[in-house]
Structure 1
Amino acid sequence: MKKVCEGITGCYRRLLLILALLVLQVGCTLALPYLTAGMIDIGVGQGGIPSALATHISAEGMEKLLLLMNQEEQEKVCAGYRNEGQVYTKNEMNREEEEALADLMTPPMVAVYALSTDGADYKEVLGEDLYVPRELDAFGILKLLPEDARLELTKAARERIAAIPLTLVHQAAVNFIREDLEIQGVHVQELQDSYLLKKVIFMVLSVVGIILSAVLSARFLARLSADYAFELRRRMVRQVFNLDEEQAASFSVNDLIGRTMEDTEKIQHFLRLFLQEILCLLLLGVGGTVLAWRMSRQLGTVVLTAFGVALFLLAFFTTIGHRSAGKIQNSKRHLLRMIRENLRGMMVIRVFGQEKREQEQFHRAAGSWSRMSARAGRTCFFLTPGLLLVMNVGFLWLAKNSASGINQGWLQSGEYVACIQYMILVIGACLSVADQISALPEGVAAYRRVAQLLALSEEKETCCKGEATEDKRAPILCFEHATCQYPGSSEAVLQDISFSVRAGETVAVVGGLGTGKTALLLMALGKMKIREGRVLINGKEAASYDRKWLAGAISYIPQNPKLFSGSIAQNLRFRKKDASDAELMEAVRTAQAEVFVSQMEKGLEAAVSPGGTNFSGGQRQRLAAARSMVGDARIYLFDDCYSALDAKTALQLKAALAKKTKDAAVLMTASRLELIQDADQILVLDHGRIAGVGRHEELLQSCDVYRELAASQGCDIHTAGEVTQDVY
């Protein structure tokens, strides 16, 4: 996981900015239902008066309130308000003090409002003893009563008011404040309009915040995901180049291409989906549930339950999809591999008349992929209807609880509307994720495949630099009891190999098919893991050298040359990027490729198709030889570089290469003995072991395996190497 997430942690500032924008977007989104509830309940229902604690109370209103309080309560109220003549103004106080003062003053406000209006409507609230018809001066009568009797009556009224739902009590207190403001000469309608205008402005600002944060977060997220995908692909390509033979054998070409391109794209899409959809879903769910809970615990419980069920459905179907995502991906890649093989082998298929067989295999593979995809699609089809069912059941549950709450007075209409909107936001976010539910298991599966590749140990890169050997007689390349095996094989392909190559010396390796000639060169290149023994360059283990230094010190001609799309010059500059055209032409002449290169219209700038398919096998081999001759090297490795050449061209190339590499160490393999007869030393391999070492004439006398090879190629073993027949 750490290796896959390195690209994200490197962009933590941009990631934090995206998270901040997402939080802003979600916050503004959740603010809209809250503002809507305020407009309905306070702006419309309460006339723009937000609290039951008045900021200003007229002297007449304060006198009536104090009439219904005891001495202690009167002192607290007088401490909270200062007398400014005809108006009492609330003093500065903290929130806790305001809440305590509001609880103290709300029952008297309700009683005063009830006595000031049609008392018949509040008869049950005030009680028979305190109820006074409107045509009589209720407060005048209360003033005439003894204080004990008045307080006894107000105490009974308080007990009845305490039994009334809080929202109704709050509404009655607000009505008292409204009437008192009219007494003060305040235009209540203007107050209401001002409150509504303020809420509208906040709603417009919230919408602007949603739009800006959504646009900016989408832009930054697109850049972040693109940069992350680029960095991930770069690291994967570097990892592929660092794989040894054993690690590379565990992956097919199609698999590596799929992990580098398709899987990285899926991870990029998953990153965008997680930050833009899933994270918003979690923030909306938690925030909407908390805000709904603050408005009403019963309605908050409904929203929380719906959110929990929706998350369970998403997790359940994601788990099901994850089980089939890997199988679907493997089936798809198997189908792509079949298509690639059929296209490459179309001529062979037609020659042997196997079109029908290949078509049947393709139909079986395509049918398997189609069935698995359809099965996964049918399973996820039930997710969206399930979420819609959860949302509609939640609506019914909210309506049922809200109806009783509004009737009983513990819920207001605006709060019900806000909870409905929170439900829509939460389930809507779940539906948005459900539309891309297939990307979740695919992203997780792609992440695991990429992590598997990145988790492979890279080749060790050290800072050790190569140095020229002072003693010319000291070996540049040395094998000491080296043993290696092919990936996946339990048997060693080469065992106990020991020899050395000095500067100016040519060592040739011969043997039958499958004796390990190519594996020997791969060990020298560091591309085969050495199970036992070691390979030394200038007296130090090859693995201890810097890879870039090795690339400059060793030049290699593979048995099957690989050319890359571009031009001839671009292919030749692989070893030396700043090589001049003169250097390139010198290498071309050395490789005996000047004739066909000069005949091309563009010369060195002639196009090379992928794999060099626009050249013959011999031309590709000579271009590969030319590529290895650009620049100087200390060690040259030639893997049967004459196999595709005729005898005359092979001898010419051999002479040119010998002249170019006369001061370097040369290790080469060959299948024609005529091309290696003058080597300083010849190694004969048989069943992975050295069967003989010596010069050509010595081996003809001492090595049966070499003598059999010479006889099979028409060499007269009695004349020590005179070639009488060239089977090539």
Structure 2
Amino acid sequence: MIKLKSYLKPFILMILITIGLVFIQAQMDLSLPGYLSDIVNSGIQSGGIEENIPKILAKEDMDKVLLFSNEKEKDIILRDYIYIGSKKDLVEKYIGEYSILSKNTNVYIIGEISESEDQILYNSISKKFNMVVGIKEKIDSGENISFGKITFPKGTDIFNIFKQMPDDKRILITKNIFSQMDKIDENIFSQMNLKAIKSYYDYLGVDTKKIQTSYILKIGSIMILITVIGALSSILVGFFASKVAAGVAKNLRRDLFSKILSFTNNEFDKFSTASLITRSTNDITQVQTILVMMIRMMFYAPLMGIGGVIKALNKSTSMSWIIALAVIVLLGFILVTFSIVMPRFKKIQKTLDKINLITREHLSGMMVIRAFNNQNFEEDRFDKTNRELTNLNLFVNRVMALLFPIMMFIMNGAMVLIIWVGAHNIANSAMQVGDMIAFMQYAMQIIMAFLMLSMLFIMVPRASVSATRIAEVIETKVSIKNPENPKKFPKTNGANIVFENVYFKYDGAKEYMLKDISFIAKKGETTAIIGSTGSGKTTLVNLITRFYDTSKGKITIKDRLITEVSQSDLRELIGYIPQKSMLFSGTVKSNLIYGNNNASEELINNSIRIAQATDFISEDELGIKKEISQGAQNISGGQKQRLSIARALVKDAEIYIFDDSFSALDYKTDASLRSDLREIVENKTVLIIAQRISTIKNADQIIVLDDGEIVGKGRHIELMKECLTYREIANSQLSKEEL
């Protein structure tokens, strides 16, 4: 994957935006359990009371609170609380917020204070307030009240007794009570404090149901807003991730296709056609899929995992071992799964190559397969590879399928443990119900984060295999390159082709395929090349087009070494008719103008006439608009070859190479075509590779190849006298009268 990192550069801004959206999404998801905890703890259990300090206190209760406070604490409390009394201006100011003022103004109301002052006031009043409310509740319920070893019977006015006590004794008793409160967990004490405030508000006649409803609606609205923001972020993350992945895949396909187009036959020998198809399709799809997942999960999962751990520890550190245990078990299983399935991923891609190869051979060689009645053999061959691929995929998918039930087992097991341990903590007043619910949700988020990362790590190696295969093609050095400073062909009319002591051998071959080839193909003349099968005829013309480069020697056209000019300029001079005719899907016209989009109607019609294609084109009512199917299956081999010749002629090139292009033509059509070709020979260089003596008999120069060497050169009559190889070929094909 690292090899393809440069393809991410055009999308850096989009990736950064996506990371920002992922951060927002993670923050939204992490905040929801906290708000749910608040609804349970504060909204339901504490009646929606948010503040940790009572906002309103009756004067008689304020006096009781002050009774247990030292001088410093009294100053703080009286500084932050405002006594209403008979002050009409204060009644008018606060009555909208405290409807109780319409019935009772003999109260203290908290003023506007900062967060730091709020904490100081909380430290000064919270324990005293809880103590006062607790004593009042016990007095109202008729219970006995105990302070250490001292027990007061029910009905006793405890506050009056404390008032009459000496200050030192009262302070000693309250210190003992406060020390007991200090042992309570801070969260539990906070919950007790909220309950005490709710109880006191009920005692005063404050509408606590309204407070509770308002609180739940407020927190619920915040949760809905967070959910909407999280959902929008998730949608945008998916959109941008898909856009980045699709853009990278598009650029990869473009560069891969361009690279393949630049390949010479040497490079095609390294990669099979089936493998190149797989790399251009399936492998790029694998990379695209993993990119979407990486952009969405690679940042989201760590944020959720780390954030979840921090949030969970804030709720309870005593249950953190449950999360650690669940993660360790999950990772252990994933590592085992990873080690089992990884080797199969590489096999799957190679087997896909094999499937493509067999399918391609089957479709291309359909007629041969049927002619030899070998359909069953081909079916068995395909079925064997298909079964191998199926079994590999089944094995991998079955192993991967185990992840989900085991994941659910681990998650549910962790949930049961959290409920079990959490229930005991709640019973021991060490935890709140809402915190336990939030802890469960954080635990699930943490486990899911690790699962997402693990799934990512399992899929990345498979995509990495595909990325490596793509990079192999893109990074392949093309053996035939354009010169750094290419020269231009001189603008002369006609082009001589000169071979000087040319040698050539294929990569890895020990012996030369062509040896010491020297000849001149002159403009205005036809040069024919003949020889037995495997003598190097096609290889020789492939050197002219630079499908291969010479191993030794040099080839010049228009007095320029062909290695000194660009390949496009070289091939612009050549009209090439390959040994195997290849037409593209489209129309007859689109194929004819393939090398010359600006061809005139006159040139097209003249080329069709010379190629002897007029009859079968005019027979169709659509003419040159006739459709050509994929692989040109709707026309015969001879028609296909004539259209290939016409296409080269429409190019109006200076050099024409006919690579055994008359083999599919009958003798009459062959003769007519060669006769009409004389019209274009003037100032054109024509090379004809042929098997038939009759095709090349009238050529200006005939070169006879045998085992990669020139064994004869001259006209037909000269070669019949001087070249044994040529004479043997001629005698095998023609009668003495024809010769």
- Within a 5 Å distance, the mapping from 1:543-558 to structure 2 comes to 545-558=565-578
Is the CA contact (8 Å cut-off) linking 1:113 and 1:175 kept in structure 2? no
Q: Which of these residues, 286, 298, 301, is aligned with residue 318 of structure 2?
A: 298
Distance 2:58 2:689 in 1: 111
Provide the residue aligned with 1:469 in structure 2: 490
- Within a 5 Å distance, the mapping from 1:293-692 to structure 2 comes to 293-335=313-355, 337-338=357-358, 341-342=361-362, 345=365, 348-349=368-369, 352=372, 354=374, 357-425=377-445, 443-458=463-478, 460=481, 467-469=488-490, 477-479=497-499, 481-486=501-506, 489-499=509-519, 501=521, 503-504=523-524, 506-533=526-553, 535-536=555-556, 538=558, 542=562, 545-676=565-696, 679=699, 681-692=701-712
Is the CA contact (8 Å cut-off) linking 2:275 and 2:356 kept in structure 1? no
- Relative to 1, partners in 2 of residues 1:67 and 1:679: Cα closer, same or farther, differing over 3 Å? farther
- The DSSP-based 3-state class of the residue aligned with 1:560 is coil
Distance 1:157 1:488 in 2: 95
Shift of 1:245: 1.0
- Relative to 1, partners in 2 of residues 1:144 and 1:125: Cα closer, same or farther, differing over 3 Å? closer
Q: Which of these residues, 261, 264, 270, is aligned with residue 284 of structure 2?
A: 264
Distance 2:335 2:38 in 1: 36
- Relative to 1, partners in 2 of residues 1:76 and 1:17: Cα closer, same or farther, differing over 3 Å? same
- Within a 5 Å distance, the mapping from 1:60-99 to structure 2 comes to 64-71=64-71, 81=80, 83=82, 86-93=108-115
Shift of 1:333: 4.7
**Which one-letter code corresponds to 1:197 in the other structure?**
L
1:28-82 CA-to-partner distances (Å, cap 9, x unmatched) read: 3333322211100011122223353556666666654454444555566677x36
Distance 1:534 1:666 in 2: 20
**Which one-letter code corresponds to 1:92 in the other structure?**
S
Q: Check if 1:198 corresponds to 2:218.
A: yes
- Relative to 1, partners in 2 of residues 1:58 and 1:299: Cα closer, same or farther, differing over 3 Å? farther
Is the CA contact (8 Å cut-off) linking 1:557 and 1:624 kept in structure 2? yes
Distance 2:312 2:212 in 1: 25
Provide the residue aligned with 2:148 in structure 1: 127
**Which one-letter code corresponds to 2:28 in the other structure?**
C
Shift of 1:297: 2.1
Shift of 1:440: 6.4
Q: Check if 1:724 corresponds to 2:738.
A: yes
Provide the residue aligned with 1:163 in structure 2: 183
- The DSSP-based 3-state class of the residue aligned with 2:581 is coil
Is the CA contact (8 Å cut-off) linking 1:166 and 1:410 kept in structure 2? no
**Which one-letter code corresponds to 2:35 in the other structure?**
L
- Relative to 1, partners in 2 of residues 1:427 and 1:172: Cα closer, same or farther, differing over 3 Å? closer
Distance 2:604 2:153 in 1: 116
Provide the residue aligned with 1:29 in structure 2: 29
Comparing 188-197 and 436-445, the one that deviates more = 436-445
Shift of 1:414: 0.7
- Relative to 1, partners in 2 of residues 1:488 and 1:194: Cα closer, same or farther, differing over 3 Å? farther
TM-score of the superposed pair, with normalisation by structure 1: 0.84
- The DSSP-based 3-state class of the residue aligned with 1:117 is helix
Unaligned runs of 5+ in 1: 717-722
Distance 1:311 1:529 in 2: 55
- Relative to 1, partners in 2 of residues 1:600 and 1:417: Cα closer, same or farther, differing over 3 Å? same
Shift of 1:212: 3.5
Distance 1:662 1:100 in 2: 108
Shift of 1:576: 1.7
Shift of 1:407: 2.1
- Relative to 1, partners in 2 of residues 1:375 and 1:168: Cα closer, same or farther, differing over 3 Å? closer
**Which one-letter code corresponds to 1:724 in the other structure?**
E
**Which one-letter code corresponds to 1:401 in the other structure?**
V
- The DSSP-based 3-state class of the residue aligned with 1:555 is strand
Is the CA contact (8 Å cut-off) linking 1:303 and 1:422 kept in structure 2? no
**Which one-letter code corresponds to 1:570 in the other structure?**
S
TM-score of the superposed pair, with normalisation by structure 2: 0.83
Is the CA contact (8 Å cut-off) linking 1:317 and 1:380 kept in structure 2? yes
**Which one-letter code corresponds to 1:410 in the other structure?**
A
- The DSSP-based 3-state class of the residue aligned with 1:118 is helix
Distance 1:368 1:707 in 2: 55
Distance 2:645 2:335 in 1: 58
- The DSSP-based 3-state class of the residue aligned with 1:510 is strand
Shift of 1:494: 2.7
Is the CA contact (8 Å cut-off) linking 2:41 and 2:434 kept in structure 1? yes
Provide the residue aligned with 2:89 in structure 1: none
- The DSSP-based 3-state class of the residue aligned with 1:685 is strand
Distance 2:597 2:486 in 1: 21
1:380-412 CA-to-partner distances (Å, cap 9, x unmatched) read: 343222212211220122122212221232311
- The DSSP-based 3-state class of the residue aligned with 1:50 is coil
Unaligned runs of 5+ in 2: 85-107
Q: Report the number of matched residues.
A: 714
Is the CA contact (8 Å cut-off) linking 2:145 and 2:153 kept in structure 1? no
- The DSSP-based 3-state class of the residue aligned with 1:564 is coil
Provide the residue aligned with 1:40 in structure 2: 40
Is the CA contact (8 Å cut-off) linking 2:526 and 2:681 kept in structure 1? no
Shift of 1:572: 0.9
- The DSSP-based 3-state class of the residue aligned with 1:87 is strand
Is the CA contact (8 Å cut-off) linking 1:567 and 1:605 kept in structure 2? yes
Distance 1:654 1:454 in 2: 44
Distance 2:541 2:60 in 1: 108
Distance 1:376 1:205 in 2: 41
- Relative to 1, partners in 2 of residues 1:525 and 1:351: Cα closer, same or farther, differing over 3 Å? closer
Is the CA contact (8 Å cut-off) linking 2:46 and 2:194 kept in structure 1? yes
Shift of 1:451: 3.0
**Which one-letter code corresponds to 2:477 in the other structure?**
S
Shift of 1:651: 3.5
1:110-134 CA-to-partner distances (Å, cap 9, x unmatched) read: 33333343279999995346x7667
- Relative to 1, partners in 2 of residues 1:431 and 1:3: Cα closer, same or farther, differing over 3 Å? closer
**Which one-letter code corresponds to 2:253 in the other structure?**
R
- Relative to 1, partners in 2 of residues 1:132 and 1:617: Cα closer, same or farther, differing over 3 Å? same
Distance 2:286 2:165 in 1: 83
Is the CA contact (8 Å cut-off) linking 2:188 and 2:432 kept in structure 1? no
Q: Which of these residues, 147, 160, 173, is aligned with residue 193 of structure 2?
A: 173
- The DSSP-based 3-state class of the residue aligned with 1:11 is helix
Q: Which of these residues, 263, 266, 271, is aligned with residue 243 of structure 1?
A: 263
1:298-324 CA-to-partner distances (Å, cap 9, x unmatched) read: 344423542454345345424432321
Distance 1:146 1:543 in 2: 114
1:596-622 CA-to-partner distances (Å, cap 9, x unmatched) read: 222222110112222223333222211
Distance 2:526 2:11 in 1: 53
- Relative to 1, partners in 2 of residues 1:533 and 1:282: Cα closer, same or farther, differing over 3 Å? farther
**Which one-letter code corresponds to 2:313 in the other structure?**
W
**Which one-letter code corresponds to 1:320 in the other structure?**
I
Is the CA contact (8 Å cut-off) linking 2:702 and 2:713 kept in structure 1? yes
Shift of 1:88: 3.6
The percentage of aligned residue pairs carrying the same residue is 29
Is the CA contact (8 Å cut-off) linking 1:534 and 1:541 kept in structure 2? yes
Shift of 1:248: 1.1
